[in-house]
């Protein structure tokens, strides 16, 4: 497919790198010559220097024959103009990044009136992801969510762990609940395991587990199960704005620590139920005075990654059950993931995962549709939820059948059918209308459900 990416910030760069790696014809557009040259030198992409809102520039980028244009600049109006112009030139599908809450409120009107296929709100999506994490009991690091029915959680195997030395089948018997190990991270890479794989100390396991079975996992591993009731938001910009609304509706007790006095006054008007404190979170004494030790969760959402890193590490050291941080730069994200911090949420990564689903759906036939895509195991694997249609080539065939042979590095992790979830075994089969969760090595680019099968 021919894909035009307008704007080479963190999200644009990451998306261009992945899309070009999946052999799409990618053209990047940015007004900064150095940014375009950097991308064209590093990746197999073409580049155009200029404004993404210019008809002339978009024609130069090939918008008249493009399958998709994705506008990701920091400027909402420019992104909308770029999509509108591309549509008139003949681009098949357009996506615009927005950040302004007012534009978000007019989402349906903007899409219908101006013919834009989707609006992408990274801060709102990041807030939703954080809310899902907060609603889970503490001490599990969550990697993915599927229809509020199942999660993929991250566990590290210590030397004295009950899991060390067990095979995948023995681990399933140990937990005696609806779960499955879907990937193993080791120093030499990621393994998508079969039933005979054996766990060793220092392995990092990603397991899919039904929400009904989460408490069984906690019990077996003797982990804390404290439910979050009180939340400290450190910094309340756009992400915090969306998150506070969701937290308030969900019944959490919220305290907001914000350094900007004008913003504090605005927050007092918007969120009269929340406790607003004007102060600097970099000052650990302020965090102590505001009772960080008594908080069930601390979410650092400032616009500075270094501040979010420092606040998260301090909150973790003070014994806060759940610690989440917003991270924009990949380097800081990887650094935080190397600690015991529960999770870091990157607005860029959340939007890239959403866009990858769109790209692959556009590239596929009508036999299936990607409903959700997560990059897991530090981007070395993917968890993809496919919607199965009647046209799928392998429906109603038991998984143990010789006809049902999967490609190497692929595992069917779960089946969601009629709002019920099943961890499959050899007797399971796919049915039309199912949502099937597949975990795969990232080298396997899956556009549709039939891509999981080995060639005859």
Measured distance CA(97)–CA(351) in Å, rounded: 9
Lowest mean pLDDT among 273-277, 371-375, 389-393: 389-393
At residue 378, what are phi and psi to the nearest 5 degrees? Answer: 55, 40
Cβ-proximal residues to 303 (8 Å cutoff; 6+ apart), any chain: 235, 237
Give the C-alpha distances (Å, rounded to integers) separating 78 from 85, 197, 223, 226, 355: 10, 51, 48, 45, 19
Mean pLDDT across 37-45: 96
Tokens of 204: 């990092």
Most confident region among 148-157, 219-228, 232-241, 319-328 by mean pLDDT: 232-241
Contacts of the segment 22-25: beta carbons below 8 A, 24+ positions apart: 22/359, 22/445, 24/359, 24/363, 25/1
Lowest mean pLDDT among 35-39, 49-53, 59-63, 339-343: 339-343
Query: Other CB atoms closer than 10 Å to residue 317's CB: what's the count?
Result: 11
Q: What is the pLDDT of residues 74-119, one digit of tens each?
A: 999 999 999 999 999 999 999 999 998 889 889 999 999 999 999 9
Pick from 47, 50, 46, 39: nearest CA to 17: 39
Pick from 426, 278, 435, 270: nearest CA to 368: 435
Q: Provide, rounded to the nearest whole percent, the portion of the chain with pLDDT above 90.
A: 62
Measured distance CA(60)–CA(199) in Å, rounded: 53
Tell me what pLDDT residue 219 has.
81
Q: What is the pLDDT of residues 269-319, one digit of tens each?
A: 989 888 999 998 888 899 999 999 999 999 999 989 999 989 998 998 998
Mean pLDDT across 27-55: 97
Tell me what pLDDT residue 334 has.
66
Measured distance CA(429)–CA(251) in Å, rounded: 40
Q: What is the pLDDT of residues 158-217, one digit of tens each?
A: 888 888 999 988 888 888 888 999 999 988 889 999 877 899 998 999 999 998 888 888
pTM over 0.85: yes
Measured distance CA(280)–CA(286) in Å, rounded: 7
Lowest mean pLDDT among 163-167, 340-344, 382-386: 340-344
Please say whether the beta carbons of 353 and 359 come within 8 A: no
Measured distance CA(183)–CA(211) in Å, rounded: 19
Domain architecture of the chain: domains with CATH = 2-120 (3.40.50.720), 141-221 (3.30.70.1450), 228-349 (3.40.50.720), 360-452 (3.30.70.1450)
């Amino acid at each position: 497919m021919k894909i035009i990416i307008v704007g080479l910030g963190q999200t644009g760069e990451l998306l261009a790198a992945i899309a070009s790696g999946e052999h799409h014809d990618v053209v990047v557009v940015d007004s900064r010559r150095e940014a375009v040259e950097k991308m064209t030198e590093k990746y197999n992409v073409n580049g155009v220097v200029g404004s993404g809102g210019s008809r002339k520039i978009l024609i130069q980028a090939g918008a008249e024959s493009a399958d998709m244009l994705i506008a990701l600049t920091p400027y909402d109006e420019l992104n909308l103009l770029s999509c509108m112009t591309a549509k008139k030139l003949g681009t098949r599908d357009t996506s615009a990044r927005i950040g302004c809450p007012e534009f978000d409120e007019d989402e349906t009107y903007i899409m219908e009136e101006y013919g834009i296929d989707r609006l992408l709100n990274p801060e709102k999506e990041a807030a939703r992801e954080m809310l899902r994490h907060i609603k889970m009991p503490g001490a599990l690091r969550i990697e993915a969510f599927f229809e509020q029915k199942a999660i993929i959680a991250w566990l590290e195997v210590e030397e004295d762990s009950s899991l060390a030395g067990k095979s995948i089948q023995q681990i399933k018997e140990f937990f005696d609940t609806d779960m499955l190990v879907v990937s193993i991270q080791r120093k030499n890479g990621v393994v998508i395991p079969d039933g005979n794989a054996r766990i060793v100390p220092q392995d990092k396991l990603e397991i899919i587990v039904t929400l009904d079975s989460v408490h069984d996992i906690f019990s077996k591993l003797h982990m804390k199960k404290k439910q979050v009731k009180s939340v400290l938001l450190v910094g309340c910009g756009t992400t915090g704005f969306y998150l506070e609304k969701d937290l308030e509706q969900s019944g959490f007790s919220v305290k907001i620590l914000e350094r900007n006095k004008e913003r504090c006054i605005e927050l007092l008007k918007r969120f009269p139920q929340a406790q607003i404190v004007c102060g600097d979170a970099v000052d650990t004494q302020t965090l102590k005075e505001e009772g960080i030790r008594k908080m069930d969760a601390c979410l650092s959402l400032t616009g500075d990654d270094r501040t979010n890193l420092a606040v998260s590490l301090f909150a973790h050291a003070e014994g806060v059950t759940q610690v989440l941080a917003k991270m924009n730069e990949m380097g800081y994200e990887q650094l935080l993931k190397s600690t015991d911090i529960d999770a870091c949420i990157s607005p860029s990564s959340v939007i890239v995962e959403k866009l990858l689903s769109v790209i692959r759906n556009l590239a596929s036939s009508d036999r299936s549709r990607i409903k959700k895509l997560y990059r897991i195991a530090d981007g070395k694997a993917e968890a993809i939820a496919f919607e199965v249609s009647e046209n799928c080539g392998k429906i109603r065939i038991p998984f143990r059948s010789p006809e049902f042979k999967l490609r190497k590095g692929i595992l069917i992790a779960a089946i969601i059918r009629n709002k019920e979830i099943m961890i499959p075994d050899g007797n399971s089969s796919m049915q039309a209308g199912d949502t099937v969760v597949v975990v795969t090595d990232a080298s396997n680019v899956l556009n549709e459900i039939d891509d999981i099968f080995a060639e005859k």
